[in-house]
Amino acid sequence: MQLDIFLEGLSLHQQSNMRSIGKGFFVQRLHPDFANLFEANKDQAALLRFEYFGKVYPLAIFFLTGQEKIQFGHCRLVLKNYSDGIEVASVLSSALQDFFNQAPESLLSALEPEWKDAPLAGVVDKRLEWSRPTDCPSDWFSDFKNDAPEVVMFPSVFHYKNPYMKELLNATLKEIRPQEKILVMGSGCGFEAALLARRSQNIVDATDINPLAVANTKATALALGVENLVRAWQSDLFEKVTEQYDLIAFNLPLALDENSTVRDQNRCDLNGKLLRKTLQEITKFLKPHGRLIIMSHEDLSKFMPENLSYKNLSRFELVHKLAISEIRAI
């Protein structure tokens, strides 16, 4: 189920290193690498669990964030439904509420003794977001009996409601042929990978540098019923890619210069480093006649190595002149 995939993405699926804090509650620290995904200070992030009928359910991830003004962050994990056959949602909701109802100092020190004196200046909420894609082209979900399935967004992952992905997916869906091997790089929440797999019934590989994006890709594949067709793993560009593909699709963070105020790795590729590296290495990962389809700037000339050519498949404008481009070896 999606929540298990989320916890696995954070290496919290095993109930190890759990500290009992009484009344059925347990605390599990997040590894510093994963605490970053919540923008937590240092390694200040922890999962709160609650034991009910022998099972220790996740309730919420808590963290401290911000340098000058420290904020108390929470990411609620209680679901509307559980498949255990027992009505646990309401029990878990009230356990979480009881925990919240404590005085702030005891709540903080229960989670982590050293948080006790944190001078809190506010609260941030990074809960998982469950939604049914509604504003997508109607043919994307035409083979679903009832409606588009509910997709979950994990914190730190680029939201599927973005025009760039839509443009890329529209172009790529037209391009796929039977039996082709496909790789989606920077898969984010996994929407492109899952939909390409569903449409083509081909195996689709998916990579992302963000471990929660990898987990999100697996969760989306499960929601779209293609968990057996989508293989997702963490990789910094091609670092952990070993095969060659007929088609590689990549909605890159946008190549922006130093003056840009955007800095997050979902949206900004500072000085086009990722784009250049992708284009330099791409031929090693494409089969003969393979192609790379990317969402990026309309004019790619200053990023292109000599051995490649590109053509814009479609163009659009959102602050910058952008395009979906196809890149092939000359």
Ligand X SMILES: C[S@@+](CC[C@H](N)C(=O)[O-])C[C@H]1O[C@@H](n2cnc3c(N)ncnc32)[C@H](O)[C@@H]1O
Measured CA to CA, the distance from residue 158 to residue 266 in angstroms comes to 6
Q: Which stretch binds ligand X (CB under 6 A): 71-79, 120-128, 196-204, 206-214?
A: 206-214
Measured CA to CA, the distance from residue 266 to residue 262 in angstroms comes to 10
Taking CB under 6 A as the criterion, the residue among 9, 253, 272, 290 binding ligand X is 253
Query: How many amino acids of this chain bind ligand X (CB under 6 A)?
Result: 21
- Closest approach of ligand X to the CB of residue 233, in Å: 11
- Closest approach of ligand X to the CB of residue 166, in Å: 8
Residue closer to ligand X by CB (options 14, 271) is 271
Is residue 290 within the footprint of ligand X (CB under 6 A)?
Answer: no
- Closest approach of ligand X to the CB of residue 40, in Å: 18
Among the listed residues 247, 310, 235, 311, the one whose alpha carbon sits nearest the alpha carbon of residue 274: 235
Q: Which stretch binds ligand X (CB under 6 A): 63-71, 139-147, 179-187, 284-292?
A: 179-187
Residue 317: its H or E element = strand 308-318
Residue closer to ligand X by CB (options 110, 195) is 195
Measured CA to CA, the distance from residue 257 to residue 268 in angstroms comes to 9
Among the listed residues 287, 132, 145, 327, the one whose alpha carbon sits nearest the alpha carbon of residue 220: 132
Q: Which stretch binds ligand X (CB under 6 A): 48-56, 124-132, 154-162, 171-179?
A: 154-162
Tokens of 184: 């989606």
Cβ neighbours of residue 287 under 8 Å, at least 6 residues apart?
181, 244, 245, 246
Residues at the site binding ligand X, with contacts judged by CB under 6 A: 158, 160, 162, 164-165, 185-188, 192, 208-210, 213, 236-237, 251, 253, 265-266, 274
